Structures are given as structure tokens and as C-alpha cells.
Amino acid sequence: MSTIQNQSLFNPTIDLASDSRWGKLYGSSSGLLFNQLLKSQQQLLLIVTADTASANRLLEELHFYRSDSELPLLNFPEWETLPYDRFSPHQDIVAERLETLYQLPQLSRGVLVIPVSTLMHRLSPRSFIDSSSLIMRVGEQVDLELMRIELEQHGYSFVHQVMEYGEFTVRGSLIDLYPTGSKLPYRIELFDDEIESIRTFDPENQRSIERVEQIYMLPAREFPLNKEGIKQFRQQFRDLFEGDPQKFPLYRDVTNGLAPAGIEYYLPLFFDGVSTLFDYLPQKTILFTLDGVDSAIDTFQQEVHERYELAQYQEERPPLKPHQLFLPADEIFGHLKRLPRHQVAHFEIPDSVSGS
């Protein structure tokens, strides 16, 4: 493993085939380093941080130094809930996560910043993202009632006025909806059963802004709550937990097509198999890890097991086992070892470490 501590940050070089350590990156110089590497490399840079605060700080540095706004700078945020919480993440967080998952496999260049605890979560399979996406075009014929049912099955909520991601409403011949990952909501005007126009609009004053020919909609949840998804959930729940499933409020809610708070910690039950973020990465990906990532893996694993022990006392809400929701430490370390790993440190690396 080579150690790099005095190389110019304005013209950095990197041996992609072997591991390396980068030291003496004081202050915001790591953001400058990644910005310069982004210009010269034709791959995705995967940057793993020890925690969310470090990820947010690095994203601010990258935005500050970035000179090419065309190159994607992606964030895959954590849910901002504790393991086994009975709370669901905010819709804005879910929208950003789904947009990132949709973009990742298609990227040839760019940056993805992610806290290692978030990297340890098991995710929806890629097939779900692809199969749950919808396209609506001007001139297309639609059945309004079927469209409403389809939107609800993809996680969109019917409201009186659209203000946030994952919401839609119907007023006569007008359909307002705010697709996951979109910068603005859309207003669809129908003439009989045909889409006559599609316009973006400002959710604050409800005024139309720009006309478009089509919109692409990602699902509004990270799991399916349609007929197939509910059937899959019910079957796997009964296989895992003993007793009458009807005594569990969570089971009854999902059976009735509802998404109870904290249902995300039962995500694997909606699928035949789940994925990890590594399954979404393009083939050519360069891995960077920042200070403290290795110890953060062990810390998060310990937190997960402690939270699991507490969750087992909730008889009406039996928890899934940790390995069903999260990558164990040895598995995440195995994934990290499969890619050439470049460790970035804000301090000087001692000679004894450099030569190891």
C-alpha cells in the first residue's frame, strides 16, 4: 500500500489498481482533492464517511470547489431514524434516496458520498426501482380512476393541495402530482381521457411555470404496497413469526394497504430478495474511505444489536434479525476489500503506518 502526503492537490495522480493512503489533508483540502480527481477520472468516486456529519461537511466542500456543474454530485442520505425505530423517514429523504438509486447504475462519472452506517443497510432490489417507474406523455390516453389507483400503489398519497414529494390530487380535469426526485411538481390537464398538457408549477403560489412533453416518475416508497407486495409481506411475516398474524397491528395495517410508521424496518418482507448499495454501483467505481470508517462499522453493528435486544420486548411488533436488515461487519469489510481502497486522512500518517 502506497502512502501519499505531499502531492499537489491541483494535479493529483492515483494508481487505480492498488490500495493507497492519503495523509495531511487538513481542513477542507479533501474536498479539493476529490474535486480535482473528479475532473481527471472517468469513473464514479464512492466516498464513504464515518458518520452523517462528515458526509454533509464533505458535500459542502465539494459544492464549494466544484467547477463542472454537469458532473453528478450525489448524496445517499440516512433515514434519520435509529435501528428498529417506530418512525418513518421524511418523504424528502426517501425521494433523494430513490433518485440516487435510479441514477447510480447509469453513471460513468461523478461522486457519491455516503455514511458507512447507511452503506450497511440492505436495500430494495434494482428490479423494483425499474419496474415501479412510470412515464406520462402529452397525447397519451389515461383512465383517471386507474391512474389514481396506480399512483397510490406506487406510494403516492392523495392530498387536497400538493406541496411535497409523493403527493397528488385530482380536481376535475386537472391532476397535480409531485414525483420523487423532481425539482418541481407537475400539473396535468386532461381533455376527456387524453393528456392535453403537462406543466411544472410552483407549490407555494400554485402558478404554472413551464410546459413539458413528458414526466418520469419514480416510486414514492422504497417498498411496494401493491397487491403483489402485500401478498409477499403477508407470506414472509407468517413464515417468520409464530402465532396468529392478525394479533399484530403492523400485519393488519399492511393487509389493508396501509404503511404504518417504521415499516421500513420490515422492508425485506416485501421482496423475494434484497440488495445492497454495491449492487447498484457501476462496474468502474473508485472507493475512498475517510477517517474513522473501520471503527464506525463496529460501533454501528454494536448499536444495531443493542437496539434489536430492546425491540424484542415489543410483543406486538416482533423485529427482524439484524442480518436481515443490515450487512454484518465481516460482510461490509468483504465488500470494501473487493475494490481498490484509497484511505483519506486529515492527519499525517506516521512512517510506521506508511510502511505497513
**DSSP codes, 237-304:** HHHHS-S-GGG-HHHHHHHTT---TTGGGGGGGGSSS-B-GGGTS-SSEEEEE-TTHHHHHHHHHHHH
Q: Are residues 322 and 282 in the same domain?
A: yes
The pLDDT score that the predictor gives to residue 30 is: 85
**Which residues contact residue 255 at a Cβ distance below 8 angstroms, ignoring those fewer than 6 apart?**
230, 234
Q: Are residues 261 and 119 in the same domain?
A: yes
| CATH number for the domain that contains residue 192 | 3.30.2060.10
Q: Are residues 10 and 93 in the same domain?
A: yes
Q: pTM for the full model?
A: 0.84
Other CB atoms within 10 A of residue 18 CB:
11
Q: Tell me the pLDDT of the chain (356 aa) as tens digits.
A: 555 555 556 666 666 667 777 777 878 888 888 888 888 778 899 999 999 999 999 999 998 887 766 678 899 999 999 999 999 999 889 989 999 999 899 888 889 999 999 999 999 999 998 888 888 899 999 888 888 888 888 888 899 999 988 899 998 889 999 998 788 999 999 998 899 999 999 999 889 999 999 998 888 899 998 899 999 999 999 999 998 999 999 999 999 989 999 999 999 999 999 999 999 999 889 899 999 999 999 999 999 999 999 999 988 999 999 999 999 999 999 999 888 888 888 777 665 444 44
For the chain, helix (H) and strand (E) counts, in that order, are 12, 15
Q: Are residues 327 and 293 in the same domain?
A: yes
Q: Are residues 119 and 10 in the same domain?
A: yes
Look at residues 191, 217, 243 and tell me which one is the last residue of a structural domain.
217
231 part of a folded domain: no
Q: Are residues 47 and 114 in the same domain?
A: yes
24 part of a folded domain: yes
Q: Are residues 19 and 109 in the same domain?
A: yes
The pLDDT score that the predictor gives to residue 326 is: 98
223 part of a folded domain: no
Q: Are residues 121 and 145 in the same domain?
A: no
Q: Are residues 106 and 138 in the same domain?
A: no
What SS3 state is found at 307?
helix
225 part of a folded domain: no
Q: Are residues 295 and 205 in the same domain?
A: no
Sign of torsion, CA 33 35 38 40?
Answer: negative
157 part of a folded domain: yes
The Cα-based distances of 127 to 59, 102, 152, 224, 275 in angstroms read 29, 10, 19, 12, 10
Q: Are residues 12 and 119 in the same domain?
A: yes
The pLDDT score that the predictor gives to residue 244 is: 93
Q: Are residues 160 and 200 in the same domain?
A: yes
The 8-class DSSP code of residue 106 comes to G
Residue owning grid cell 418513518: 88
Look at residues 167, 191, 217 and tell me which one is the last residue of a structural domain.
217
